[in-house]
Structures are given as C-alpha cells and as structure tokens.
Amino acid sequence: MGMSTRNDLRIDRERLWATLMETAQFGATAAGGICRLALTEEDRAVRDWFRAAAEAAGCTVEIDEMGNMFARRPGRDPNRPPIAIGSHLDTQPTGGKFDGILGVLAGLEVIRTLNDHGIETDAPIEVINWTNEEGSRFAPAMLASGGFGGVFDRDYAYARTDRNGVTFGEALEKIGYRGSTRAGDHPLAAHFELHIEQGPVLEAENVAIGVVTGVQAIRWYDVTVTGQENHAGATPMGLRRDALAAAAAVIGAVEGVAREMGGVGTVGVIESHPQSRNVIPGRVFLSIDLRHPEDSRLAAMEARLGEEIAALAKARHVEIAFERIWHSPAVAFDPACIKAVADSATHLGYTHREIVSGPGHDSVYVSRVAPSAMIFIPCAGGLSHNERESITPQQAEAGANVLLHAVLATEARLSRQR
C-alpha cells in the first residue's frame, strides 16, 4: 500500500480503550486505580498478558537481564534496528490506569493497526515495557531503562532493595522475568513515548497534544535524622533531641528552598522510630525529591538545602545524614524526533504546543543511546500518581494517532537516508 494509505491511518479508539480497561484489572484497587509495584505478582500477571497479546499480534518477545520486554513486529529488513515505542506497566502504590500504561498499550495498538491495514515497514517496529520506571518499590526510578542507557550496571540494579530487604535481582528471578540478553545490547533507531502530562498545562490551555522537547533535572536524597529517645513527660522542651521535630523543620526547608529558587521539592516518605505516643522520636528517615529545568539551578538548590540542614542539625542538637542517591540531569530530546511529533499533530489536525516534562520518564535514559521524543496528552486536573487519574477515550486516541504517524514518518525518513 502506498504512502497515501499510510497518511489516512487511524488507530481503533474502542480497542485501545478496552485494552486499557482490561489491563487495569491487574492490581486493581477499590478506589478505581492500580497498585502494581514493579516485580510483584501483579506485575508478573500484566507482563504475561502483554507477552501473549504481542505474540498474538505477530510479534516476537525478548527479555533482557533487567526484565525489559521487547515486542518486535518484523520489517522487510531484519538487520535494521527497530523504531521503538516504549513506556512502563508498573505503577505507584496508589497509581492510576494510564501513567506509563497508555504508552505501552498505545504501542500495541499501533502494531494492531498496521496489521489491520497490511502495512509493511522496512525497519521492524518494537514495543517496549521498561522495568521499574516508577522507582516506588526499588529506588532509583527508571532503573532498567537506565541500565539500557548505560547509567546503571547490572550488579548495582540487582542489589537495590525494597523496604522489606528484597533485592531487585531476587524479585526479578521470582517472577520469572530475568532474561539473558545484556541490557543495552539491543540497538534502537529511534524511541517514542506517549504519556499523560501529569500536570495541568495542556488541559488549562485546551491543547490536545504536548510536543515534549525535554525533561527537567531531578535529584533524590535519603535523609536520616538521629536524635535521642526519651520520656515524653519527663524531658523539658529545651533539653530534647527530638528527631521528628527536626525532620519537620527539614520538610519546611525543602518547601522554602523550592519556592525561593523556582524549582519543586517534595518529601514523599517519612518513617519515625520508635512509634510510641509517649516516647520522643530518636530516629527519622525521610526522602527528598528536588527538581528544576536547569541543572545549575538544581545544584544551587541542593547546596542551599544542605546549608539549611546543617544549621538545623546544630540548632536542634541532632545528627542529619543528607545523601544524594540519584541524579538525572536535564534532557533535550532529538530535534528530528520532536519534529516528527509536531508534524504528525499538524497532519492530524490536533492542537499542539511544545512543553518540558516535569516528571522523569524512561525516555530520559533511552535518549542517551537512541534519538528520542515524547508525546503528552492532557489528564483531568493534571492529577497523576493518584487512583483518580483520568483521561478520555478521545484523548487516548489523539495521542495514539500522533504516535502512529510519528513512528511511520521516522521509519520512512530513515529508510530514505539509507
């Protein structure tokens, strides 16, 4: 079939939506979301489903040593690296039905649409499920795409532990998804990722498609505050070494630094010991997430926060260990891939605008080894990492159509350049 037929291609909205709702049953929560942490039994179940669905669509499925899944639709030339569509199927503990999942299932829908219309491509088309994107069970986030991109080695990844002491390697083995292919030994010609915005901009401006030009810089920290446990009734306020009160001051410092310096700061985890009503807390663990679009400004935020934490420790007579555990620099996506997204949105008649991603995504690390770009669609109220995360079938359809045409345009461009 000719290029005119390709230009007229559209995905099947009802089929895509039905697939999203079907996979939402794996780890479904009572509040309508999904709890499908990486490498749990729920994750294994959705992986099994994806493998079967991809094979039914004529794909072969390969698993690498990080558990990344590569579903390949063959092209005329099997020696050419594939045009890839990638995202993730794991969720937060109170995750929604679309974060990451839309990107994988829209990729499956692209494959099904090409099959429906008998479209043959020169290069293979591949759909990828990247392991542990969320970083909720195993920190840091984007662990397996980071392995693919050469940021984390296998031994480092395998040694990451969850809060119960289970290692990433053990969990990968337990669910049967530890492959033998070395992470990264799998060249890609290009990589596209469709995702909900996870922010309010597109909805507020009534724009259908976000053409993502890059991702802001991110740093994660582990903080341990060590004071002294003592009796809550007998210890005067001036003589206390209260770890939790000091931690509260650290949280205030995170918010203050972020507001003052134009970034964002979040404390997402806090654990106090010994958890007794009449004992002054002696030890507190908390996590900190700092982000800024500019690397230099994020470094300045870290330095300022470090100074404030040191001053707090001295003033409150506690010890505070402030350790950076992850740094993802700001990313600029590939200009040709960005253009393919923008041109596809124009061709399809969708309103669109350029946007920088606040959250990190697998494309951050994949972009180190393959030309990459992302497509955003609006989500209701900008709400994500929440069971009430919501999009419409029409929004999913628009994003998947842009994805389809960006992939085909890139495949055709690379074919012409050979």
Two structure tokens written together for 113: 């649409």
Residues 246 and 369 in one domain: no
In whole angstroms, give the CA distance from residue 391 to residue 209.
13
At position 49, the amino acid (one-letter code) is W
Q: Residues with Cβ < 8 Å from 213, sequence gap 6 or more?
A: 332, 333, 338, 354, 355, 356
Using the 3D structure, point to which of 328, 361, 380 is the last residue of a domain: 328
- Which residue among 301, 328, 355 closes a domain? 328
Is the CB of residue 268 less than 8 Å from the CB of residue 222?
no
User: What does the pLDDT read at residue 358?
Assistant: 87
- 399: domain CATH number is 3.40.630.10
Please check whether residue 338 is in contact with residue 373, taking contact to mean a CB–CB distance below 8 angstroms: yes
Same domain for 201 and 304, yes or no, is no
Which residue range forms the structural domain that includes residue 186?
Answer: 3-216+330-417
Helix (H, G, I), strand (E, B) or coil at 370: coil
Domain tally, the chain: 2
SS3 291: strand
87 backbone dihedrals φ, ψ, rounded to 5° = -165, -150
Are 229 and 199 part of one and the same domain? no
- At residue 278, the pLDDT reads 98
Backbone region of residue 378 per phi and psi (left: phi > 0; alpha: psi in -120 to 50; beta: other values): beta
Q: Are residues 158 and 54 in the same domain?
A: yes
Q: Report the CATH number at residue 246.
A: 3.30.70.360
Per-residue model confidence as pLDDT tens for the chain (418 residues): 344 478 899 999 999 999 999 999 999 999 999 999 999 999 999 999 999 999 999 999 999 999 999 999 999 999 999 999 999 999 999 999 999 999 999 999 999 999 999 999 999 999 999 999 999 999 999 999 999 999 999 999 999 999 999 999 999 999 999 999 999 999 999 999 999 999 999 999 999 999 999 999 999 999 999 999 999 999 999 999 999 999 999 999 999 999 999 999 999 999 999 999 999 999 999 999 999 999 999 999 999 999 999 999 999 999 999 999 999 899 999 999 999 999 999 999 999 999 999 888 999 999 999 999 999 999 999 999 999 999 999 999 999 999 999 999 999 999 999 8
DSSP state of 382: G
User: pTM for the complete prediction?
Assistant: 0.86
**Residues contacting residue 394 through CB under 8 Å, at least 6 positions apart:** 13
Co-location of 300 and 400 in the same domain = no
- Looking at residue 6, what is its pLDDT? 87
Cβ neighbourhood burial of 207 (10 Å; 0-12, 13-18, 19+)? buried
The residue with tokens 């600029």 is 332
195 neighbors 186 (Cβ within 8 angstroms): no
* Burial degree of 347 (CB within 10 A; 0-12, 13-18, 19+): middle
Domain termination site, one of 313, 328, 343: 328
- Pairwise CA distance, residues 150 & 153, whole Å: 7
Cβ atoms of 221 and 203 within 8 Å: the answer is no
* Claim to verify: residue 35 and residue 147 sit in the same structural domain: yes
The whole-number pLDDT of residue 4 equals 44
- 82/147 same-domain check: yes
**Same domain as 212, residue 347:** yes
CA–CA separation, 35 and 33 (whole Å):
7
Q: Which residue, among 82, 87, 147, has the nearest Cα to 360 in the 3D structure?
A: 87
| pLDDT for the residue 93 | 97
Residues 84 and 166 in one domain: yes
Query: Do both 311 and 190 map to the same domain?
Result: no
Contact 222, 325 (CB under 8 A): yes
**Residue 5 forms beta bridges with which residues?**
none
For residues 19 and 106, state if they share a domain.
yes
Tokens of 215: 């991702």
Q: Are residues 271 and 180 in the same domain?
A: no
